[in-house]
Amino acid sequence: MLVSAPTAPKGRESRWSRNSGLALLLTAVLVVAVLSLGIGSRFVPPGEVLNALFNPSSSFATTIVHDLRMPRTLGGLALGAALGMSGAVMQGLTRNPIADPGILGVHAGAAFGVVLAIHLFGILGFHGHMLFAFAGAVVVSVVVWMAGSSGRGGATPVKVALAGAAITAFVGSATTLVLYADEVAFDEFRFWTIGSLSGTKATTLVSALPFLIAGTLLALILTRGLNGLAMGEDMARSLGLRVHNVRVLSAVAVVLLSGTAVAVAGPIGFIGLTVPHLARFAAGQDYRWIVPYSALMGAVLLLGADVIGRVIASPAEVQVGAVTAAIGAPLFIWFVRRAAVRAL
């Protein structure tokens, strides 16, 4: 076991309200999924969407729903949940409310992997980009963790954050140098780096599913350990928490979840940063609730942003990465201001 520390008991009313919150979020997931299946260059009414799902035929609406919009919708839900959970785990790991998976170098490594795939190997296909992006995210995250673990005391939140900032800056500079030297790489990369769900295919989701499942299971298993870390390292150790194990496994969970999401859809910002704050606002400070809340909220926010992007520029669309930035930045500023006022 990772931790034997008891968690504070919760009252029945609090547990009931949290369960009610989960039920509301599940309803929101279903609603936004139906909207995603129906909204696009050709609108499909909700009744026809449901009919296509439960009574498929050879109609044009069924073809649109099943072949074109279903992979995108499932991808938005799965990747949004992954980004939300990875942000919650990252903030618990570093005990830093403004941390996101980028601290481990996930985004920088994925971007560098895509640039190398284009520049060195001439790979222009989506699946090739995904594989190199995930490989780059893993390699750079391992380097960040090794650098943050060196020296006395092993890995600490401050050392990992400093190592992540330094290595991310270095990798980002290397990526920029390659892009300036290769016009083809620049043209291809600029579409990937915006962040989009439009290229999500069923085969891509199948390839990503094992990594997402493994990361999700790890994140859920680690919730008690993250609760222990929140009390401070000395207190956590005195209660039986194996701090090193929790840190390493948390980093693995972040890389699996965020690395896969970035590899599939590009570096979509603000989900991992903002969603955990919303989850804490709704569910309190217990990571046994924060992680599942973050998963559902991340799914709703990412897919909802994708739907908004299709509506505001119809019949064209705004990439989901731009929409999440427009939604997430004001939300995050509000949380920061709220925390500053409470601290006064």
CATH number of the domain at 112, please. 1.10.3470.10
Q: Can you tell me the distance from the alpha carbon of 293 to that of 119, in angstroms, rounded to the nearest whole number?
A: 40
Residue 78 belongs to domain spanning: 12-343
Output the average pLDDT for the chain. Answer: 86
N-terminal to C-terminal alpha carbon distance within the chain: 40
Its pTM stands at 0.88
Tokens for 103?
Answer: 């601290």
Q: Is residue 5 in some structural domain? A: no
pLDDT surpasses 60 at 9:
no
Q: Is residue 257 part of a domain?
A: yes
pLDDT digits (tens, 9 = 90+) for 57-69: 777 888 889 888 9
Residue 245 lies in a domain: yes
**Cβ atoms of residues 321 and 263 within 8 Å:** no
Answer for the pair 296, 19: CB distance below 8 angstroms, yes or no: no
**2 occurs within a structural domain:** no
pLDDT digits (tens, 9 = 90+) for 165-223: 899 999 999 999 998 888 888 877 877 787 888 878 888 899 899 999 999 999 999 99
Please state the domain count of the chain. 1
Instruction: Give 288 or 104, the one with higher predicted confidence.
Output: 288
pLDDT at 3: 41
State residue 41's pLDDT score. 82
User: Is the residue at 40 inside a domain?
Assistant: yes
By C-alpha distance, which of 264, 247, 232, 276 is closest to 141?
247
- Spatial separation of the C-alpha atoms in residues 240 and 273, rounded to whole Å: 30
- 8-state DSSP, 58: S
Angle value at C-alpha 141, between 122 and 176, nearest 5 degrees: 45
**Residue 4 belongs to a domain:** no
Q: Find the angle CA(197)-CA(261)-CA(312) to the nearest 5 degrees.
A: 30
Res. 8: pLDDT tops 60: no
Q: Is residue 309 part of a domain?
A: yes
- Residue-wise pLDDT for 103-131, tens only, equals 888 889 988 998 998 888 888 777 777 88
User: In this predicted structure, what is the pLDDT of residue 340?
Assistant: 54
Q: Count CB neighbours of 209 within 10 A.
A: 13
Would you say residue 203 lies in a domain?
Answer: yes
